Structure 1
């Protein structure tokens, strides 16, 4: 690891991945951190937040061209779009705007870390080869994760910096207002089920209840991301990062129900995005009744993402042994992860 000054540029610093990454870098104590996001944030200690529209080239130039001290770029930004093809232009464009603004001025740049996911393996399209491995062949485009990695590979040729691609499963952590936070989906769904006097029913597709899958804890992911960015052995490599265990919803669901003191009833396929669309008035009543923090309903409900995850009626896991072979040996028990995050939501008055 380099002993010189380390300056991290965390792109997407307000998402569940970015926030945990900023927290981990802060705890390490030897990093200066610059967080980029659309809405910015409160700067304190070694962390400085910069609000920027990453799709606006001029705004990127105005806000990022002075970041000459950056040594590591951690890219975890994402913009949602309704189709796979529509995801490509904004998500590739944001990465290009960041790199082509910062790289020419950051003469001490050492590494660019790219956050990806199992979409690289076609996991979002249907049943795919499991366990997925970093060496697996590519699938038919469109896929912005692949386009981003190819851009980095081409940009890196002849450069002094290196890159890494980090591929987590579903990332779970404490964050609000994130379109892909499964833990918050479960927390809000469980709380509303209890308020209505209902058992906790698994809402996914028939067949999804008993398939094998895995998760990635956001704190574990932060550690792995910094490890890959600072260990020379990881240069220009991709790594699957997961908790290290597998589970099935039919075993996990009763344990989640127990957290809410709820009974479990038979699964009932339903779109959360549809059946929870009218629950905002109820949520507002719950805020008053239980003295919850007044977070808008839209910030605690990622129902469409919940529908996506609960639709996987096929195995969803990847081989994480490459990271272990390269030296990363951390793991997280997934049951403990879910219960800890739900307890954090309760302690912070997000759910009753």
Structure 2
């Protein structure tokens, strides 16, 4: 495996407090990290949370990437140091147009600052994290057929992932890139927008607290058919591999655990872990509306947080009930091919059931859930 020889590898992780960003930082600081030893700057929009392990990064920096002046003031002094950017940030807007505008501005601001102030440019590579929704259509519109693979073309309507790829590719004459497309990311953080595991954990704890059944919000199709996940550790490993291996240069890669599961079986694991009774899906029942059920449960979660002495969080900030419900009602098997990754030399994998149990344990260690 050809590795770029780095005498000084300096990483900037944008979105370091999210599930992927935190795992990327931990992967880079591992004694066996490819391309290392790494000096790691972790960047976030908000100050470092109490649960964030300080030893994970060498420097924690805070700035708003949407604001060019703030970005420039913070990153200009580092432009002669940073060799690699790991992009794991996302800011969701009110609609796709706003999401495109906001996220492309963030990415452009960071890359503009890091490439404008130093000659020769120190920055060599960016890993850009997008996702499987690269292949998915909007409701009622065309999409690709699973299993998804990286050579599938873009769908004929705007997506912010496409725009971010275009921003990165516009710097192709100055730096290299890899694009990473995870599935449902499973990790430990309370600062990730689409955190399905934490959403399920909160839902289960509310059910326990109120003596409610822990019901599956999806259809029989997704209950019985295959789905996949992306462990944040495997995703981080792929980011680092992509950053330092020449063969991966300027390529896109799916990133999943390498196995599949059914929600029927995974629901049983969740019930075991959270101590709630297993509720089989009743085919004769109407679809259970999880979004409606949880819309007024903020005060219940506040009570659980106070009673259990948890890290202070707000229900609306740490859950994503609507995306979870949407994913549980798909009419196709949510699976991607990992063949390209393996052909290029990345073999990271993990058992999804073990992954789920591991990250539930981490959320408990971090005192985010009971």
Shared fold, TM over 0.5: yes
d(CA) in 1 for partners of 2:366 and 2:168?
A: 39
| SS of match in other structure, 1:264 | coil
CA contact (8 A) 2:215 2:288 kept: no
d(CA) in 1 for partners of 2:312 and 2:88?
A: 27
Q: Say if 1:168 and 1:20 are closer, same or farther in 2 by CA, change over 3 A.
A: same
d(CA) in 2 for partners of 1:21 and 1:40?
A: 19
CA contact (8 A) 1:40 1:52 kept: no
Is 1:147 paired with 2:163? yes
| SS of match in other structure, 1:139 | coil
Is 1:344 paired with 2:362? yes
Q: Shift of the alpha carbon at 1:4? A: 0.9
How does 1:81-230 map onto structure 2 within 5 Å? 81-106=93-118, 107-122=121-136, 125=139, 128-156=144-172, 158-159=173-174, 161-205=175-219, 207-230=221-244
What TM-score, normalized by structure 2, do the two folds share?
0.88
- Say which of 303, 318, 341 aligns to 1:300: 318
- Say which of 250, 255, 259 aligns to 1:236: 250
- Say which of 75, 87, 91 aligns to 1:79: 91
- Say which of 38, 43, 50 aligns to 1:31: 38
- Say which of 43, 67, 74 aligns to 1:56: 67
Q: Shift of the alpha carbon at 1:124? A: 5.5
Q: Shift of the alpha carbon at 1:125? A: 4.7
d(CA) in 2 for partners of 1:101 and 1:349?
A: 37
Gaps of 5+ in 2: none
CA contact (8 A) 2:19 2:191 kept: no
d(CA) in 2 for partners of 1:329 and 1:44?
A: 28
Q: Say if 1:264 and 1:38 are closer, same or farther in 2 by CA, change over 3 A.
A: same
d(CA) in 1 for partners of 2:150 and 2:203?
A: 34
- How many residue pairs are counted as aligned between the two chains? 350
CA contact (8 A) 1:123 1:316 kept: no
What TM-score, normalized by structure 1, do the two folds share?
0.92
Root-mean-square deviation (Å) = 2.0
d(CA) in 1 for partners of 2:290 and 2:43?
A: 31
Name whichever of 263-272 and 49-58 sits farther off.
263-272
Q: Shift of the alpha carbon at 1:336? A: 0.9
Q: Say if 1:24 and 1:237 are closer, same or farther in 2 by CA, change over 3 A.
A: same
- The CA deviation string for residues 212-254 of structure 1, in whole angstroms up to 9 with x for no partner, is 2100000110011000110011001000110000111112111
- The CA deviation string for residues 134-188 of structure 1, in whole angstroms up to 9 with x for no partner, is 11111012111111112222321x32x2111011101110000322111101111
- Say which of 43, 48, 53 aligns to 1:41: 48
d(CA) in 2 for partners of 1:350 and 1:150?
A: 37
- Say which of 321, 332, 338 aligns to 1:314: 332
Is 1:330 paired with 2:348? yes
CA contact (8 A) 1:31 1:46 kept: no
**Deviating 4+ runs (over 4 angstroms):** 42-46, 123-127
CA contact (8 A) 2:144 2:152 kept: no
CA contact (8 A) 1:206 1:313 kept: no
CA contact (8 A) 1:209 1:313 kept: no
